[in-house]
Structure 1
């Protein structure tokens, strides 16, 4: 078992649960977590759009969590583990760096949202990367 991959899975799971909480608790959570005023207003108006988008993100983050747990040996081995983990790690790292550039033009969000979400994505990406590097020999394609 690899503590970094376990941590990566837990961090993705926490992010997934926070997205699920937005659906459950509504506009105030969309605002608090920085989803943007438009998403919060749509949620207040009863639109299903915010919930559908957020549910999609929840599903992706949950799957990413499962892949990290699988690589750590906690759950059954999932297919294409090396390739999928590399893609997940790259997405987290690219999102983290890209978000820093969006601070100047926040696209309906606050610069603080881009800063904090970028830091979070970079941390999760680095944790994934360390776990992958440590566990690389055990991630052979079977």
Structure 2
């Protein structure tokens, strides 16, 4: 079992659960987590759009969590495990780095959102990378 990939899977699962909280608790959670005022207003108006977008994010993060647990050896081996972990790691790292470039032009979100979410994604990417490197020969 690979501790870094177990942590990576747990982190993705926690973030998926927080996104479920946004769906359930609505506009205050969307605001708190920096989804932008437009998303919060849509949630307040009862629009289905925030729920659909956030549900998509929950689905992706849940799949990423399951793949990390699979690569760690906690659950059954999933298909395309090596490729999936490479892509997940790359996306987390790319999102982490790219977000820093959006701090000065936040596109409806706060600069703090981009700073914090980028640090989080970059950290998740690094944890995935370490775990992937350690497990490489077993994937």
State the TM bucket, normalised to the shorter chain: over 0.9
CA distance in structure 2 between the aligned counterparts of 1:133 and 1:85, rounded to whole angstroms = 10
Shift of 1:73: 0.7
**CA offsets 1:35-75 (integer angstroms, 9 cap, x no match):** 00000000000000000000000000000000000000111
Structure 1: runs of 5+ lacking an equivalent:
none
Query: What is the total number of aligned residue pairs between the two structures?
Result: 139
Cross-structure match for 1:123: 123
SS at match of 2:103: coil
**Structural RMSD (CA):** 0.3
Shift of 1:12: 0.4
Q: Which aligned runs of 4 or more in structure 1 are off by greater than 2 angstroms?
A: none
What is the TM-score with the length of structure 1 in the denominator?
0.97
Report whether the alignment pairs 1:49 with 2:49: yes
Cross-structure match for 1:133: 133
What is the TM-score with the length of structure 2 in the denominator?
0.99
Cross-structure match for 2:86: 86
Cross-structure match for 2:34: 34
Shift of 1:7: 0.3
CA distance in structure 2 between the aligned counterparts of 1:34 and 1:129, rounded to whole angstroms = 26
CA distance in structure 2 between the aligned counterparts of 1:100 and 1:109, rounded to whole angstroms = 13
